[in-house]
Chain A
Amino acid sequence: MTILLRAIFAAILLFSSLHQAGADEAELRTIIAKFASVKKFTDTQSVINELAQSADAAAVPALKALADGELNILKSDGTVVITRKEGDGFVYSDPLSGETLGTAGKSDFRKVKIKNSIRRSIGGLLSSLTLGSTDPTVRLQAAEALFSKADPDALAQLDAAIADETSGDVRERMLQARAATVLAGDNDPEAKLQAIAVVSGRGDRKALAVLNAFAANENAELVAARQAAIDRVNDALASWQAVQNIWYGLSLGSVLLLAAIGLAITFGVMGVINMAHGEMVMLGAYTTFVVQEIIRTGYPGMFDYSLAIALPLAFLVAGAVGFALERGLIRHLYGRPLETLLATWGVSLILQQAVRSIFGPTNREVGNPSWMSGAYEVGGLVITANRLWIVVFCLVVFVTLLFVLKRTRFGLQMRAVTQNRAMASSMGIRTPMVDALTFALGSGIAGIAGVALSQIDNVSPNLGQGYIIDSFMVVVFGGVGNLWGTLVGAFTLGVANKFLEPYAGAVLAKILMLVFIILFIQRRPRGLFALRGRAVET
């Protein structure tokens, strides 16, 4: 029985909605068809205004397509269509019914051009059209957009939407949007006072923007309330500011740590001044590029896994280059730091130019997988996904490396060789091989760092150069030969830098950091965590 009732109900609903759409469709269709004849941006704007007048949610797909640059005109007959890229061509469909009409190449279409001001008005229109959507997240977005827009004309619509709203969260947002709208419009002071309280309750930057934009019109009570609200929001933001600086510092520190951790092995443990360290990072980044390029052309569905595939490959590529470098060059120069420095610097130039010859001098595009794009908001703190994952990743790498050094046979041999080469040798350890593998390990980790850094920086032949100074700085500051020192050093420098930056500016902050490190090394030549014992004395 209930099923039958439901079916009847659904049928009535369907019929009535079809009927309604049928009545307006012809009219909408003629408005949308006008996009084909627009010449100037003002023409486009007036067509959008007409769509706004009709206030018909059926125009939403066409408007969305227009905002995304997917609303096109078929050159052959001037039909307005929505296009979607598929393979090398484009599938085009009707803007109202969504029915697929055919496929064509890029040159068969002419795009309906828009600019920022039009994009904004589409955004505003879309939010008022989707305020009655069945999807709560769409309604939430619409309310959020209306909050920033604060259009006095939207008040009645918001009131209606608030009355119908069932979800608490969405309702709250709508009330805030309503308050912002009240502030923007011509309303009595009492309503405005309440609105100020609602808006300031959000306590974020958007609320601040709305409050700042609100002109209190010499009503003393309102002026005072507005100022108090602004101060309140500012206070709340100031305390978040400190948290935010710490987060930015940790994030910068994680990048420093990633870049330096390989060097902590080659320079810290082995004592090789490896100026080509940055280029190992670059090789890792380029490996990521190659992997993504293969995935883009052959297996587009695998894109989200590209970094997981690139990681071991980058380790192997950079590790192999490091191994070859140690066997071919560096082992002949042990004990001659100056010559090692010059030779590895030469190698770094050769590697850069080789990459430039193979891949070209321009930046290469390395995409962010979907799970590394966007940001999370925690209170007043914005945490971008790629930075968050890099912090996690650098800690994982650090712990893994620590485990390899402290808990594996190879790590034991490595420590034995660096602490007392002669003794280790006489115990039957093949010291030259351990040297080569240690250097390869350090280089391989630099390669892994390159995978992570490709997500936030340019992938160009110069990638490594930007990190080499910072890496040495971190290792020297943290204490040569001590992994924990590198960890603490990287995060200390990162956080200190980020606390200085807002006051001193990026340029001065960097200089101050260098001055600080120079002074620090004067006081403690062996860095933060100096190694002690006989091995060091010799």
Chain B
Amino acid sequence: MTDFRKSAFAAVLGMALSSSALVPMAIAADDTIKVGVLHSLSGTMAISETTLKDAMLMLIDEQNKKGGLLGKKLEAVVVDPASDWPLFAEKARELISTNEVSAVFGCWTSVSRKSVLPVFQELNSVLFYPVQYEGEESQRNVFYTGAAPNQQAIPAVDYLLKEESVKRWVLAGTDYVYPRTTNKILEAYLKSKGVADEDIMINYTPFGHSDWQTIVADIKNFGSAGKKTAVVSTINGDANVPFYKELANQGIEASDIPVVAFSVGEEELAGLDTGPLVGHLAAWNYFQSVEADANAKFIETWKARVGEKRVTNDPMEAHYIGFNMWVKAVEKAGTTESDAVIDALVGVEVPNLTGGTSVMLKNHHITKPVLIGEIQSDGQFEVVFETEGLVPGDAWSDFLPESKPLVADWTDPVNCGNYNTETKSCGGAAIQ
């Protein structure tokens, strides 16, 4: 009896542990170039990150079909950091030291990125980070292929200011670093546009918040001041479905109070009946519905691989761009050695999926078009606005006094992620 209990206990504990520590899928071989994929396949973030793992495997397969890289085959090494931030750092170390990968594609939340930064610095490897984020960062070993605030939040607010003549603003977000920093930037920006203090309402909710009745009623209340009102939502992941359900049920229509979201894409809408949400907005750099040849081909390959019903989204495109940039840089450098690749990456141009060409900038961000889309009843977005030309990503926001004088430039002679143009020295304060 005792034995059974012990073994049962050990088994359960073992299973619990193994679910958070999947054994790397690849076997070492010398004639391959290894690419690390660091996305959560279990835990709360699996909902968003699993798709990115699938996208990476697809991109690597496609590259191998084209003959690999430098005459070698590419090999994916997939690990599961299980939505556990310290585990991200451990797994990153494992990928770089044990599996000796040439580059890592991964992370979703800002906190996971922050947790792996020291590892990439210490072991001098390359990370491609594919998600829109709050900015205020630029590291030598990291390439940011998602949107910086000036490539998503600011243009979205501009659209509402101009096209919808919005006068009152609700900034609603989940309580963590991305929404807080983004809202800080937006608040400063709106005030610079002459919006009064009492016309801005800021609201934070915990992760996975599911009871939105009070907040939606507050928004309605705030909207009855006789001025056009809009909601800017940085609400994250799981909390969005109940939020939109409550909006629909309380009868807030997009033509009265539009909601523009920065974290709601095709994937998030998949769990929703979008009929009552038609017209609410999202700002991204890519939508599945964009009509472009590269996009049509990408969607076709994706659906053939994972199923007819699966959708594509913005972070997938970021990985598409990042991966192709890495491939080009490695070809240019003729080696996968980190320093050479990091130098080669700046200035690399690859086509994106919306018909343009994205460039890797000196600050390790890229140029992207900004698209505003309205939700349609089929769960897709329809583009209602597009910036003319591509917008270069700005690592340090110009709308925050503490980051205004900072620039990032990883080429000589500056070679610094936070160069202060006023004091002409490297090392400005990062806001937190």
Which residues of chain A have a CB within 8 Å of any CB of chain B? 41, 68-69, 113, 115-117, 119-120, 123, 148, 205-206, 208-214, 244-245, 248, 251-252, 255, 329, 332-333, 339, 342-343, 345-347, 349-350, 352-353, 356, 360-365, 367-368, 373-375, 382, 384-387, 456-462, 465-466, 498, 501-502, 505-507, 510
- Complex Cα gap A252–B377 (Å): 29
Q: Chain A interface: which of B116-124, B267-275, B343-351, B403-411?
A: B267-275
Cβ of B335 under 8 Å from chain A: no
- Complex Cα gap A244–B374 (Å): 32
Beta-carbon contacts under 8 Å, B1-53 to A = 1, 4-5, 8-9, 12-13, 15-16, 19-20, 41-44, 46-47, 50-51
Contact in complex: B258, A116 (CB < 8 Å): yes
Contact in complex: B47, A332 (CB < 8 Å): no
Q: Which residue of A lies closest to B249 (CB)?
A: A384
Cβ of B390 under 8 Å from chain A: no
Shortest beta-carbon distance, A240 to chain B, in Å? 10
Cβ of B421 under 8 Å from chain A: no
Cβ of B90 under 8 Å from chain A: no
Contact in complex: A353, B9 (CB < 8 Å): no
Q: Which residue of A lies closest to B47 (CB)?
A: A361
Contact in complex: B208, A119 (CB < 8 Å): no
Instruction: Specify which of A342, A360, A465 lies most central, judged by the most chain B CB atoms within 10 Å of its CB.
Output: A360
Q: Given A209-B225, A350-B19, does the pair A115, B9 have CB atoms closer than 8 Å?
A: no
- Complex Cα gap A355–B181 (Å): 35
Contact in complex: A506, B46 (CB < 8 Å): no
Contact in complex: B50, A361 (CB < 8 Å): yes
Q: Chain A interface: which of B146-154, B209-217, B297-305?
A: B209-217
- Complex Cα gap A373–B247 (Å): 12
Contact in complex: A466, B208 (CB < 8 Å): yes
- Complex Cα gap A510–B209 (Å): 10
| Residues of A close to B256: CB separation below 8 A | 148
Contact in complex: A458, B238 (CB < 8 Å): yes
Q: Which residue of B lies closest to A346 (CB)?
A: B12
| Residues of A close to B267: CB separation below 8 A | 362
Determine which of B203, B210, B224, B382 lies in contact with A466 in the assembled complex, contact meaning CB atoms within 8 Å: B210
Contact in complex: A339, B374 (CB < 8 Å): no
Given A214-B226, A248-B211, A506-B215, 14 more A-B residue pairs with CB atoms under 8 Å apart are A69-B278, A69-B377, A206-B224, A245-B214, A251-B213, A346-B15, A363-B47, A363-B270, A363-B271, A458-B241, A462-B208, A466-B238, A498-B214, A506-B204
| Residues of B close to A461: CB separation below 8 A | 46-47
Beta-carbon contacts under 8 Å, B358-389 to A = 374, 376-377, 382, 384
| Residues of A close to B241: CB separation below 8 A | 363, 457-458
Determine which of B16, B225, B249, B271 lies in contact with A364 in the assembled complex, contact meaning CB atoms within 8 Å: B271
Q: Which residue of A lies closest to B203 (CB)?
A: A505
Determine which of A367, A385, A506 lies in contact with B209 in the assembled complex, contact meaning CB atoms within 8 Å: A506
| Residues of B close to A113: CB separation below 8 A | 382, 384
Q: Given A248-B214, A352-B42, does the pair A460, B271 have CB atoms closer than 8 Å?
A: yes
Shortest beta-carbon distance, A210 to chain B, in Å? 7
Q: Which residue of B lies closest to A463 (CB)?
A: B238
Contact in complex: B226, A210 (CB < 8 Å): yes
Contact in complex: B204, A363 (CB < 8 Å): no
- Complex Cα gap A365–B209 (Å): 18
Contact in complex: A205, B273 (CB < 8 Å): no
Determine which of B8, B242, B250 lies in contact with A375 in the assembled complex, contact meaning CB atoms within 8 Å: B250
Shortest beta-carbon distance, A275 to chain B, in Å? 11
Q: Which residue of A lies closest to B4 (CB)?
A: A332
Beta-carbon contacts under 8 Å, B192-237 to A = 203-206, 208-211, 213-215, 217-218, 220-221, 223-227
Beta-carbon contacts under 8 Å, B128-184 to A = 163-164, 175
- Complex Cα gap A382–B216 (Å): 11
Count of chain B residues with Cβ under 8 Å from any Cβ of A? 69
Contact in complex: A458, B271 (CB < 8 Å): yes
- Complex Cα gap A384–B211 (Å): 13
Cβ of B279 under 8 Å from chain A: yes
Q: Given A209-B225, A345-B16, A507-B204, does the pair A361, B46 have CB atoms closer than 8 Å?
A: yes
Contact in complex: B213, A209 (CB < 8 Å): no
Which residues of chain B have a CB within 8 Å of any CB of chain A? 1, 4-5, 8-9, 12-13, 15-16, 19-20, 41-44, 46-47, 50-51, 163-164, 175, 203-206, 208-211, 213-215, 217-218, 220-221, 223-227, 238, 241-242, 245-246, 248-251, 254-256, 258, 267-268, 270-273, 278-279, 281, 374, 376-377, 382, 384
Q: Given A116-B164, A346-B12, A506-B209, does the pair A365, B271 have CB atoms closer than 8 Å?
A: yes
Determine which of B5, B210, B223, B227 lies in contact with A333 in the assembled complex, contact meaning CB atoms within 8 Å: B5
Contact in complex: A213, B15 (CB < 8 Å): no
Determine which of B5, B206, B242, B271 lies in contact with A507 in the assembled complex, contact meaning CB atoms within 8 Å: B206
- Complex Cα gap A88–B1 (Å): 59
Contact in complex: B208, A252 (CB < 8 Å): no
| Residues of B close to A498: CB separation below 8 A | 213-214
| Residues of B close to A209: CB separation below 8 A | 223-226
Determine which of A244, A364, A457, A506 lies in contact with B206 in the assembled complex, contact meaning CB atoms within 8 Å: A506
Q: Which residue of A lies closest to B220 (CB)?
A: A205
Q: Given A69-B376, A363-B241, does the pair A505, B226 have CB atoms closer than 8 Å?
A: no
Q: Which residue of A lies closest to B377 (CB)?
A: A69
- Complex Cα gap A2–B12 (Å): 86
Contact in complex: A458, B242 (CB < 8 Å): yes
- Complex Cα gap A441–B19 (Å): 29
- Complex Cα gap A417–B253 (Å): 55
Contact in complex: A212, B225 (CB < 8 Å): yes
Contact in complex: A342, B9 (CB < 8 Å): yes
Q: Given A361-B50, A502-B214, A506-B215, does the pair A459, B271 have CB atoms closer than 8 Å?
A: yes
A-B CB proximity, top 9 nearest = A363-B271, A212-B226, A213-B226, A346-B12, A384-B249, A346-B16, A205-B224, A209-B224, A361-B46
Contact in complex: A329, B44 (CB < 8 Å): no
| Residues of B close to A386: CB separation below 8 A | 245, 249
Shortest beta-carbon distance, A7 to chain B, in Å? 43
Shortest beta-carbon distance, A296 to chain B, in Å? 12
Q: Which residue of B lies closest to A505 (CB)?
A: B204
Q: Which residue of B lies closest to A209 (CB)?
A: B224
| Residues of B close to A367: CB separation below 8 A | 273
- Complex Cα gap A345–B223 (Å): 44
| Residues of A close to B221: CB separation below 8 A | 205
- Complex Cα gap A329–B8 (Å): 8
Contact in complex: B273, A208 (CB < 8 Å): no
Determine which of B218, B246, B249 lies in contact with A373 in the assembled complex, contact meaning CB atoms within 8 Å: B249
- Complex Cα gap A109–B281 (Å): 24
17 contacts between A and B (CB under 8 A): A115-B279, A116-B258, A116-B374, A117-B164, A205-B220, A205-B221, A208-B226, A342-B12, A347-B12, A350-B19, A361-B51, A382-B251, A458-B241, A461-B46, A465-B208, A502-B218, A507-B205
| Residues of B close to A255: CB separation below 8 A | 210-211
- Complex Cα gap A248–B254 (Å): 24
| Residues of B close to A208: CB separation below 8 A | 224-226
| Residues of A close to B13: CB separation below 8 A | 342, 346
Shortest beta-carbon distance, A223 to chain B, in Å? 15
| Residues of B close to A205: CB separation below 8 A | 220-221, 224
